[in-house]
Every structure is written in C-alpha cells, then in structure tokens.
Amino acid sequence: MVRYLIRRIGMFLPTLLASSFLIFAFIRLIPGDPAAVMLGDQATPEAVAALRAEMGLEQSLLHQYIIWLTAALTGDLGKSIFFQVPVLDLIVDGLETSVLLALFSMVWIVILGLPIGMLAAARRGSLLDQGLSGLAMFLASVPTFWVGLYLILIFAATLGWLPSSGYPSIFEDGGITNLRYLLLPSLALAAPNAALIIRLTRASMLDVYREDYVRTARAKGLHPLAVVVRHVFRNALLTVVSAIGFTVAALISEAVVTETVFSLPGIGRMVVQSILRRDYPVIQGTILMIVLLYLTINLVVDILYAWLDPRVKLR
C-alpha cells in the first residue's frame, strides 16, 4: 500500500507541472497584447510598453513561465487587473463557495445514487425499478440550469423554504445556517450525476450478482443482506467509485452554470467573468487551482480504489 501511495503521488506532481505549463502557454496563445488589452483603446504606446516591462512580457515565454511558477509556488499568483487585489485572495474567497458546493453535491450523489441504485437492482424488473430507472434517465437528460430553475421555482418561490440565490459565507452573520443557501444549488448540480450513479450502481450490482463468488456466498448460508453488503456491494462499488471520480470533472464544469443560475460567488462564476474581463492573472490562477483540486480528488479516488480492490496494487 505504501509503495502504491508513493508511486501514485509521484504521478501527481508531474501532471500538475505539465498542466501549469499548458495553462500558462494557452493564455499566451490568445491573440493581441495583453498589456494593450488591459489598458484599453486610449492607452499611449509608452504606457503599454511600461506595463509590458512591468509584467515581464519582454522576456522569453519560458522565462516568464519560470517566474510565474516560482511565484505561484510561494502562493503568489499575481494581482487581478480588474480588482487590483491578489488573485489568491479572490480564489480563497470563491473557494469556500465552490468547495462546499462540490462537497454537498458529492453527498447528494452518494446518498441518492447508491441507495436508489441498490434498491432498483434488488427489485429488478419491478414497477419500482422501472420508475426509478425512468427518473434516473430523466434527470440525466435535462440540463442543470433547468433543474436549478425548477428547484428555485418550487422550493424558493412557491414554498419559500429555501433561499433562491447568493451565499453569505459561514463566517458571516448566520454562521453555519448559511449552508442552507447551498442546498438547492448542490441538488441541481448533483441531479444529472446522481442519475448516472443510480444507473451505474444498478447495472453493476446486477452484474456482480451473477458472479460465481456470490453464488459461493449464498452457498455458505449467509443472510441475504450479508451477501449483498459484503459480497455484492463491495465489488459493485469498484466500478461506481471510479465513476464518482469522473463526475468530479463534470461537477467542476457544471458548477459554472449552477453558480450563475444561483448567483453564487464561487470560482466557476469567477472564471467566466474573468474571461469576459480579460483578467489573465485571475484566469490563470483559478484554472491552476481547479486543476489542483481535480488532481487531488482523483488521487483520493485512486487511493480509495486501491483500498477497496487489493488487486490494484499489483498493477
């Protein structure tokens, strides 16, 4: 296990380094002079030249990258051109919303996806199974913003149970109860992914149920619940866990839409707005942060997978 961990973490760092270079280089591919774009049409050539020098744009791309990377390693991601505050502060502000949103969504995905999928598998072919599978198909097909708008319509506008938009930090007035602002957005964000997990859990439980070792478990005279939990579920989980890892990627891109629908101050919305504002340092820093987040979650998923499936360590 330790050797596997070392090897897996050894893969983490080069991936992060490569993506950081790609992020940096791709932004430079956008045509036009960033300094000129930042200063606007009225800028004098001198002012542009001065800003170029200040930003280090006169140096080679590699040199610029190394400067940016070494600064980034110390936590300095530069300054936002639009807000004139350090990028890191903006990210930290947005991160609370985004991370909590993603976490809540993961919780929804797991508490909806696994039990409903297991139930559908246990009642295979019944009306309940068909109903649940139909629901899953429906949720997987409708767009996130549509689910979001309907949730707002029902739970915020009509019933008035939950707030429809915004998110005050849990460190502000209201404290932990502010989390209720994230219930609807996280549910909207979770819906299509939970639907995927429902269908996958169902299919993979049914697959495993036909395995020889499940027959062995039944031949041992175990209680049906013990057969399902100890033998079917744990093996079915192998497929599901790796799929949950993939949904993290979906969560990050769909979060952009959800944060917009619910006006949440998260990093997804910040990326969109920064692109519109040509705020390059913010785009760069935020995307790097998203990559870091994504790689970390994947690392956790892989470790979880290795813990679940002892065969992984051999490969």
Partner 1 sequence: MNALLSVRDLLLVGNAGVDPGVIVDRLSLVISEGEALALVGESGSGKSLTALAIMGLLPEPEVTVQGGGVEFDGHDLLLMPAPERRKVAGHGIAMIFQEPMTSLNPVMRVGDQIVEMIRAHESVSRKAAVARATKLLTAVRMPEPALRLRAYPHQLSGGQRQRAMIAMALACRPKLLIADEPTTALDVTVQAHILTLLRELQRDLNMAMLFITHDLGVVATIADRVAIMYCGRMAETAPVHDIFRAPAHPYTRGLLACIPTADRRGSELVAIPGQMPSPSDPVLACRFAPRCPRADSRCGHVAPPTVTISAKHFAHCHHTGSGCSP
The 274-313 contact track toward partner 1, x by CB under 8 A, reads ----------------------------------xxxx--
Q: Which is nearer to partner 1, 201 or 274 (CB)?
A: 201
Q: Identify which of 183, 188, 168, 197 has the alpha carbon closest to the alpha carbon of residue 255.
A: 188
Given candidates 28, 63, 180, 215, which one binds partner 1 under the rule CB under 8 A? 215
User: With CB under 8 A as the contact rule, which of the stretches 16-24, 31-39, 81-89, 210-218 interacts with partner 1?
Assistant: 210-218
Q: Which is nearer to partner 1, 173 or 212 (CB)?
A: 212
User: With CB under 8 A as the contact rule, which of the stretches 42-50, 151-159, 218-226, 265-273 interacts with partner 1?
Assistant: 218-226
314 contributes a contact to partner 1 by CB under 8 A: yes
Alpha helical stretches, state H, the chain = 2-29, 34-39, 45-55, 61-73, 87-122, 127-141, 144-151, 183-209, 212-219, 224-226, 234-261, 267-276, 280-308
For the bound state, the minimum distance from the C-beta of residue 239 to partner 1, rounded and expressed in Å, comes to: 12
180 contributes a contact to partner 1 by CB under 8 A: no
234 contributes a contact to partner 1 by CB under 8 A: yes
Q: Using CB under 8 A, count the residues that bind partner 1.
A: 23
For the bound state, the minimum distance from the C-beta of residue 217 to partner 1, rounded and expressed in Å, comes to: 7
For the bound state, the minimum distance from the C-beta of residue 152 to partner 1, rounded and expressed in Å, comes to: 43
218 contributes a contact to partner 1 by CB under 8 A: yes
For the bound state, the minimum distance from the C-beta of residue 312 to partner 1, rounded and expressed in Å, comes to: 10
In contact, 140 and 196? CB cutoff 8 Å? yes
Q: Which is nearer to partner 1, 38 or 306 (CB)?
A: 306
Q: Is 152 left (phi over 0), alpha (psi -120 to 50) or beta?
A: alpha
Q: Which is nearer to partner 1, 144 or 201 (CB)?
A: 201
For the bound state, the minimum distance from the C-beta of residue 51 to partner 1, rounded and expressed in Å, comes to: 59
The torsion angles phi and psi of 4, rounded to 5 degrees, stand at -65, -45
Question: How is residue 74 written in tokens?
Answer: 């110390």
Task: Give the C-alpha separation, 117 to 198, whole Å.
Answer: 4
User: With CB under 8 A as the contact rule, which of the stretches 215-223, 258-266, 276-284, 288-296 interacts with partner 1?
Assistant: 215-223
Whole-angstrom CA distances from 144 to 101, 103, 158, 201, 260 are: 14, 17, 20, 21, 11
For the bound state, the minimum distance from the C-beta of residue 218 to partner 1, rounded and expressed in Å, comes to: 6
**Burial per residue of 222-233, b for 16 or more beta-carbon CB atoms within 10 angstroms, e otherwise:** eeeeebbeebbb
The alpha carbon dihedral of 125, 126, 130, 136 has a sign of negative
Tokens 């602002």 belong to: 181
127 contributes a contact to partner 1 by CB under 8 A: no
216 contributes a contact to partner 1 by CB under 8 A: yes
In contact, 126 and 114? CB cutoff 8 Å? no
| Interacting residues with partner 1 (CB under 8 A) | 211-213, 215-223, 226, 230-231, 234-235, 238, 308-311, 314
